[in-house]
């Protein structure tokens, strides 16, 4: 933690000394972990580019951030699952001279249930946003960061990225992609001045959890100690991003589960996941 704070303080002092605030672009900024992350970056002195589908929610958030932290905000309502949305967004940022110093890919969607009971369109929607949109944002903004020799990326994955999760098959697979891509880029860009971090939260108290609970009442039986606080998750992700860590798994229980999953045979993980899935179905 000392190392994290030292690096963050150095960056903040540099930004203040130059008189120019760094810019953080946050997708999925209108709620949940994305919204909490905007407060982390604003508190640290970053101007914000806020991206999500809901223009009204973004405008409300922008007003809150400006009033509380005295930072500049740019609201860019965008459906990132739409074809070419990421390219249009990147082009607009370049025209405005607002290419971000930090890119936070938090936009994502989850749907729970047996694979065969879900419509093909629902699977595709998760792939379009969780995988394709995230990859497109990286492909359009990472080259600019590398060319200038500085930048940070925070990709929001999930603890589900570390093991197969029956009844969350497509979602878990999409987050496994995010984790694998992040780890690859973190090493690929090691000497470029650009860091790439994966935030892998466990179950977190957000609207996504509320929606999942409405669809499956068994989730109400989850003990409180398994549910992370959104502000804590965001803070740890922010610190890991600013420190340039490759992976951040908030919470001792989640970190223990992650380490166990990496050392456990896949067949056993599948069986355990199946038992847990059937118990909550």
Within 19-104, where are the H helices?
32-43, 55-69, 85-95
CATH number, domain containing residue 136: 3.40.50.720
| CA distances for 172 relative to 3, 75, 178, angstroms | 31, 30, 10
Q: pTM of the prediction?
A: 0.82
The active-site residue out of 171, 228, 230, 239 is 171
pLDDT in tens, the chain (281 residues): 333 443 444 444 344 445 789 999 999 999 999 999 999 999 999 999 999 999 999 999 999 999 999 999 999 999 999 999 999 999 999 999 999 999 999 999 998 899 999 999 999 999 999 999 999 999 999 999 999 999 999 999 999 898 888 889 999 999 999 999 999 999 999 999 999 999 999 876 555 544 544 454 444 444 454 566 899 999 999 999 999 999 999 876 665 666 566 654 554 444 545 544 544 44
pLDDT at 47: 98
What kind and span of H or E run contains 38? helix 32-43
Tokens found for residue 43: 């508190």
Q: Residue 145: which domain range?
A: 2-279
Q: What are the residues facing 247 on neighbouring strands?
A: 198
Active site residue 69: no
| Total structural domains within the chain | 1
Beta bridge partners of 23: 47
Give the separation between CA 107 and CA 131, rounded to whole angstroms.
10
Close Cβ partners of 196 (under 8 Å, ≥ 6 residues apart): 152, 153, 155, 182, 185, 186, 189, 246
Model pLDDT, residue 251: 74
pLDDT at residue 94, as a whole number = 96
């Amino acid at each position: 933690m000392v190392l994290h704070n030292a690096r963050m303080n150095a960056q903040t002092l540099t930004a203040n000394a130059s008189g120019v605030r760094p810019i953080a672009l946050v997708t999925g900024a209108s709620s949940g972990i994305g919204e909490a992350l905007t407060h982390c970056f604003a508190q640290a002195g970053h101007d914000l580019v806020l991206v999500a589908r809901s223009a009204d929610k973004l405008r409300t958030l922008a007003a809150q951030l400006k009033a509380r932290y005295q930072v500049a905000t740019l609201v860019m309502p965008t459906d990132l699952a739409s074809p070419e949305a990421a390219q249009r967004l990147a082009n607009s940022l370049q025209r405005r001279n607002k290419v971000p110093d930090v890119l936070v890919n938090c936009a994502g969607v989850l749907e729970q249930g047996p694979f065969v009971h879900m419509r093909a369109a629902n699977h595709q929607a998760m792939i379009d946003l969780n995988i394709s949109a995230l990859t497109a944002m990286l492909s359009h903004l990472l080259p600019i960061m590398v060319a200038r020799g500085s930048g940070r990326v925070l990709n929001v994955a999930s603890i589900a990225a570390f093991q197969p999760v029956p009844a969350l098959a497509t979602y878990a697979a999409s987050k496994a992609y995010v984790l694998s891509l992040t780890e690859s880029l973190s090493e690929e860009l090691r000497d470029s001045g650009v860091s790439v971090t994966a935030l892998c939260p466990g179950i977190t108290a957000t609207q996504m959890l509320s929606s999942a609970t409405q669809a499956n009442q068994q989730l109400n039986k989850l003990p409180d100690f398994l549910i992370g606080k959104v502000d804590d998750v965001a803070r740890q992700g922010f610190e890991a991003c600013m420190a340039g860590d490759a992976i951040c798994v908030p919470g001792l229980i989640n970190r223990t589960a992650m380490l166990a999953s990496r050392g456990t045979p896949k067949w056993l993980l599948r069986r355990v996941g199946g038992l847990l899935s059937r118990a909550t179905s």
